[in-house]
Amino acid sequence: MRITDMLRQDFLSLSLQAQDKEEVLSELCSLLSSKINFDHDAMVKVLIEREKLGTAGIGDGIAIPHGKLKDLEDTYVAFSRSQKGIPFDSMDGKPVHLFFLLLAPEKSTGQHLKTLAKLARMFKDKNFRTCLMDAQTSNELYRIISEKDDAC
């Protein structure tokens, strides 16, 4: 399983404009909704409901908001970052800079969990996180993610 099979270059953003958690979720969903022709509000609602169960902010400036949607046909991954950091109720209480969004079909439990686990493994590498923060273009972001994807 490859992250880049679910992540297209047009699902990347170099700079989130959001100021809080709900705005982050909305902005991340905007990266996908028009491109995959899916209801933006439904995506955001699923993510907010999932956040009520526990934060997707896993610490070290990282969050992996995720959810499953009934009528979604494929699994999708999007990425964005915030240079200044955004409050996200992270486990370590620190602002989040790096966000991977994962949305999957409702019945894809195995794929969903495997993708979450792989993203978490990729993020353990401090050099990977630094490279994501330093990337200047979406091409560079995609290359960094693809290379790490191959290595994990």
Q: Which residues are catalytic?
A: 66
In 3D, which of 121, 31, 29, 111 has the Cα closest to residue 74?
A: 111
Nearby residues of 24 by Cβ (< 8 Å), 6 or more positions away: 16, 18, 63, 65, 82, 86, 88, 96, 99
Looking up tokens 């195995």, which residue turns up? Answer: 110
Show the DSSP H helices in 37-125 as ranges: 40-53, 109-123
Task: Give the amino acid at 112.
Answer: H
